[in-house]
Amino acid sequence: MGKSSILLINGSLQRRIHGLIGAFFKSPHLKSQITRDMQSYVQESMAKWREDQPVFIQDETKNIAFQVLVKALISLDPGEEMELLKKQFQEFIAGLMSLPFKNIPGSQLYRSLQAKKKMVKLVQKIIQSKRDHGMISMVPDCPPALYQLTEENMKLKSLKAQHGEPMCWSDYLSLPFTQTVITETLRMGNIITGVMRKAVKDIEIKGYLIPKGWCAFAYFRSVHLDENNYEWPYQFNPWRWQEKDMISNSIFTPFGGGQRLCPGLDLARLEASIFLHHFVTQFRWVAEEDTVVNFPTVRMKRRMPIWVKRREN
């Protein structure tokens, strides 16, 4: 990742950078710009979906998320450079959980580090050219949940249409059931399985000694799927969140916690809400069989193929 990655720096520097990132993503101006971008990327992507071939939801959502973030961070629109950046990014990510053979050409880590170098060069080039031009500035298989989710989003869609108003970010985040669906999805299928920590001194946790210098992995998935914490943990049940506080607590930490709490959490929820809104209000679908793979990263084995049919208005 590089020694200046925010995940590796500590102390006051990490706090300062964390604060800056948090403030950046909280800015109302950015939120409204990002909402517009997300809407148009979601719509553009869905406009290309065909009814006579499967749509791979995992690829589509990853692509949209990547475009939104790159647009927000370096003002790059979809196109050739975006595609190149995406290719290098995918190669880089593939090496994050791999055997540590960084000097052996052909190894996953070697390819990942090469991809990172290319990515950095490309981003620097893009930023420089923007500067020169003065431009910097799942719904799992649960029909009742799907029904309620669709109802809630359809209602908002027709309300907005009646008033002739566009949807804004607070509209998306105001849908209570949709938020519980996202929360439950984060509990059951979060892509971040846990976080690494290094003990800076000997420390005892629940009777176990972690010696100074040792690394520990806090495995969120085991907490999120523990029946002592959640009744029927492998059942997709968004209603379990209806009366609960969704802010991170010790048994629900998809975005981490403490001073490293993910500063992109609102953005991630917004993006999921926009995707779900356009998805359930414009399409019906049948999903093919697929299973979750947990290691080394959480993903769908067959990239989540579905067959879609456009709803008639």
For 164, the 3-state DSSP assignment is coil
| Contact code string over 195-234 relative to ligand HEM, x by CB under 6 A | x---------------------------------------
Residue with tokens 């930490």: 253
Q: Does 7 bind ligand HEM (CB under 6 A)?
A: yes
CB half-sphere exposure, 185, CA atoms < 13 A: 20
Binding part of the chain for ligand HEM, among 98-106, 157-165, 258-266, 304-312 by CB under 6 A, reads 258-266
Eight-class DSSP state of 261: -
Give the nearer residue to ligand HEM in terms of CB position, either 54 or 254: 254
Helices 265-282 & 11-26 angle (0-180, nearest 10): 30
Binding part of the chain for ligand HEM, among 55-63, 184-192, 285-293, 302-310 by CB under 6 A, reads 184-192
Binding part of the chain for ligand HEM, among 141-149, 167-175, 264-272, 277-285 by CB under 6 A, reads 264-272
Tell me the closest approach of the beta carbon of residue 121 to ligand HEM, in angstroms: 21
Q: CA-CA distance, 73 to 64, in Å (whole number)? A: 14
Give the nearer residue to ligand HEM in terms of CB position, either 92 or 255: 255
Residue with tokens 């609102």: 266
Q: CA-CA distance, 22 to 208, in Å (whole number)? A: 34
According to CB under 6 A, which residues from 50 to 89 bind ligand HEM?
Answer: 69
CA 108 from chain centre, in angstroms, equals 23
Radius of gyration of the chain (CA): 21
Yes or no: say if 182 and 272 are a contact pair by the CB < 8 Å rule.
yes
The residue within the footprint of ligand HEM, chosen from 262, 274, 276, 280 (CB under 6 A), is 262
Give the nearer residue to ligand HEM in terms of CB position, either 118 or 260: 260
For 287, the 3-state DSSP assignment is strand
Q: Would you tell me how many other CB atoms lie within 10 Å of the CB of residue 279?
A: 23
Q: Does 122 bind ligand HEM (CB under 6 A)?
A: no
Give the nearer residue to ligand HEM in terms of CB position, either 21 or 122: 21
The residue within the footprint of ligand HEM, chosen from 78, 140, 233, 256 (CB under 6 A), is 256
What are the residues binding ligand HEM (CB under 6 A)? Answer: 6-7, 14, 18, 21, 25, 69, 190-192, 195, 254-256, 260, 262-264, 267-268
